[in-house]
Chains A and B, each alone.
Chain A
Amino acid sequence: MRRPGKPVLLGLGLVALALAPVGQTDYILYILSSWLVFAIAAVGLNLTLGYAGQISLAQASFMGIGAYTVALLTLAGVPWLVAMPAGVLLCFLVGLALGFPALRVQGHFLAFVTLAFNTLFFLVARNEDWLTGGPYGLSGMPRPDFWLFNTDPNLPFYYFTLIVFVISSALMWGIVRSPWGRAFKALRENPIRAESLGLDTRRITLLAFAIGSAYAGLAGAMFSPLVQYIEPGSFSFVQSLRVLLMVVVGGSGFFFGPVLGAAVVILLPEFLRFTEGYYLMIYATMVILLMVFCPSGLIGLGQRLRDRFRPGRELRGDMKQGAQL
């Protein structure tokens, strides 16, 4: 599977990302930054859903936990570098706890459990005024200042987001290629067989949830300083569906799927704006067509096209149907 061209292409992609903001307006910088932030959350959900096969509709609530933790701490004067790990750790622990129902319920039932958790988070964020500011939310979070590198203007903030994105993606790359990564896939494909081979499916399931949630927490930790305003509505159930859409549209179970999916969900509507009143309709139609004709997402579509023109390179037989939801 290893081809010499791959590192070169990866390098080119990074260069493209590094050069993308050159000469751009603040608006484009903001959109690009929010793409990378949501890509981090989607990469996390891809581990839970795409690799380990555990459906979660609570990704936005973990973004919320991360965002509120970082917002409260940075507003109290704690540096971002301390607040971020606190938020991520909290998400990891809560994700671990939420993983327990996943040991008992599967599929649609698990979806409902996580959905309930998301609603619970929304209600707590809205009703506990003393902590979260209630429906008014929290605002004015400072952007991190790393001595020589102040991220307050939009351009440095984009690079800051890019750096966090690259580091977290590299970590994820390591995770899915580690024995854990293989264990996650085994769990998705056939839990009974995985267990019979001596895998501790209980531990693996919990880990899949916890790591996926920690990534959402990291995205939340970036979201706070990016938007500089958070309110419960930003982390409602609908937002979880949006992250899920990113994973599914991009290609659930493919490493770069969620990154591409986040681009489709965040960037595509902005590109279609020139069609004015029609842009949301066009966007929705495109997503429906994609899901009907290629349930394995954009990357799956790319692979199918390649197989048609250059057959005989069967790489991922397991991904023909896309990761099962």
Chain B
Amino acid sequence: MQRRTLLTAATFAAALAGTGLAAHAADVVKIPCVCEMSGAGAVSGTNYHDGAMLAVKEINAAGGILGRQIVMDTYDTQTDPQVSRALVQKAIDSGAYAIMGTVYSGSTIVNMMVAQRAGVPQFTGSEAPNITERNNPYIFRTSSGAQKGVPALTAYFKDQLHVTKIAVEWVNNDFGKGGHDVFRKEMKRVGIDVVADVPSEQGQVDFSSDVSKIKQSGAQAVFVYLNEEEDARFLKEAKKQGLKAPLVGEVTLTGQKVIDLAGGAAEGAFAHVGLATSAPVPSIEAFVAKFRKAYGRDTDHNGIKGYIGVYAIKYATEMIGKFDRKALASKMHGLTLDVKKYPGMLLTTSWDKTGELSRESFMTEVKNGKQVVIGTVPAN
């Protein structure tokens, strides 16, 4: 019995020894996309990937970056942080100039250490605050972190809704906790009393006790910080129990997927979004149309993130005039790409010293089953 096992083990080892490094061609530049093509993050990851791929096709058709064609290989992380770490390593081994992904914060926080060690710039779609708090000079966001997005709502709660008592419903994972902690700090700063603080599970189905807790607390508004499917379930339950307080979210609450899942229950929900596919901005409208033409479906904000990430790599590389990973990373710090000169960015975008991103953002509301932009928040 052991013989079989050992033979199999030996075969495995021999097969492993056979796999080698692919030859690195000089006339292409490799920008692999490591993202969530399966598992819980498949919706976000696929949109991010497809948006990035769209940018790659456009750039290649227009002559590539400094005359080189972009090659984008796809690496599926299965939404598993451990796998994503291995794959970022694989992408680096294959000679990546820069890496696109990952979208889920729990994965990015693991795999960004690998890219940092290898000195490869990485453009993530993640929004957890801690990603840019680790002094990693190679990580760059493609949308603002929660520590930028949530404070944009503070003024809305204080000056527009005039609330003094507020409730927060959040998902207890690294994404939700990041937003929750920023929110508590902000509310303390402006003196709004958090009367109900309700954590929920990822994948939670029943929100009845959560909603009744919030209802009993007498909160005048509710901050909802959940993933898309949970958002929809929460909205339905809130409607069922007749929760009257305005429901305000960050990024996800007014997304098209939430509206579809929640049916009429999403009507009237507010959210601050860094990137809105419904924004009445010609560049974004053109992007949404292009995306629909290429893939036959609509994208969420993750598609825009992937798209502008690839363009940011192109513009910054052309500024430094060579393919130098370190120079690219240092160029990105403190860089502002004006949309008038760099149309691929869709909106004027800046990065600070930590890789955090800043640009104009939007307040949205669900009206007649559609996300509608009701105001813009200037870049901070």
Contacts and interface: CB of A to CB of B under 8 A. Distances in A.
A17 interface: yes
A23 B5 contact: no
Nearest to B178: A136
Given A231-B174, A260-B5, A299-B5, A19 B93 contact: no
A201 B14 CA distance: 44
A160 interface: no
Pick the 5 closest A-B CB pairs, nearest first: A256-B5, A302-B4, A27-B90, A25-B93, A16-B13
B6 A256 contact: yes
Nearest to A16: B13
A9 B10 CA distance: 9
Contact of A20 (B6, B8, B16, B38): B16
A229 B5 contact: no
B129 to A, nearest CB: 10
A27 B87 CA distance: 7
A12 B109 contact: no
Most B-side CB within 10 Å, residue of A137, A267, A303 = A137
Contact of B38 (A127, A233, A280, A316): A280
B174 A19 contact: no
B81 A19 contact: no
Interface residues of A, number: 56
Given A136-B130, A267-B12, A229 B4 contact: no
Interface stretch (A30-38, A85-93, A107-115): A30-38
Nearest to B175: A135
B9 interface: yes
A10 B2 contact: yes
A215 B268 CA distance: 54
Contacts of A26: 89, 92-93
Given A19-B13, A299-B5, A302-B8, 9 more contacts: A16-B13, A20-B17, A24-B17, A26-B92, A27-B86, A34-B86, A276-B74, A298-B8, A303-B4
A207 interface: no
24 contacts: A6-B2, A9-B2, A9-B7, A20-B17, A22-B17, A27-B87, A27-B89, A27-B92, A28-B19, A126-B172, A227-B85, A228-B113, A229-B109, A229-B110, A231-B174, A233-B81, A254-B1, A254-B5, A256-B2, A260-B9, A273-B76, A298-B8, A299-B5, A306-B4
A3 to B, nearest CB: 8
A6 B12 contact: no
A156 interface: no
A23 B20 contact: yes
Interface of A: 5-6, 9-10, 12-13, 16-17, 19-20, 22-28, 30-32, 34, 126-127, 134-137, 139-140, 227-229, 231, 233-234, 254-257, 259-260, 263, 267, 270-271, 273, 276-277, 280, 298-299, 302-303, 306, 315-316
Contacts of A19: 13, 17
A143 B13 CA distance: 25
A13 B9 contact: yes
Contacts of B1: 254-256, 299, 302-303, 315-316
Contact of B82 (A22, A34, A127, A134): A34
B74 to A, nearest CB: 8
A13 B89 contact: no
Contacts of B330: none
Contact of A299 (B4, B21, B178): B4
Interface residues of B, number: 44
A233 B106 contact: yes
B9 A17 contact: yes
A10 B82 contact: no
A227 B84 CA distance: 11
A134 B175 CA distance: 12
A121 B191 CA distance: 36
B130 A30 contact: no
Given A6-B2, A9-B2, A28-B16, A280 B78 contact: yes
Given A10-B6, A22-B17, A231 B106 contact: yes
A91 B171 CA distance: 30
Given A24-B16, A263-B12, A136 B86 contact: no
B86 A31 contact: yes
A271 B11 CA distance: 13
Nearest to A24: B16
A139 B13 contact: no
Contacts of B176: 135
A189 B172 CA distance: 44
B3 A9 contact: yes
A135 B89 contact: no
Most B-side CB within 10 Å, residue of A12, A13, A126, A254 = A13
B18 to A, nearest CB: 10
B177 A135 contact: yes
Interface in B1-57: 1-10, 12-17, 19-21, 37-38
B50 to A, nearest CB: 13
B283 interface: no
Nearest to B174: A135
Nearest to B89: A27
A22 B93 CA distance: 15
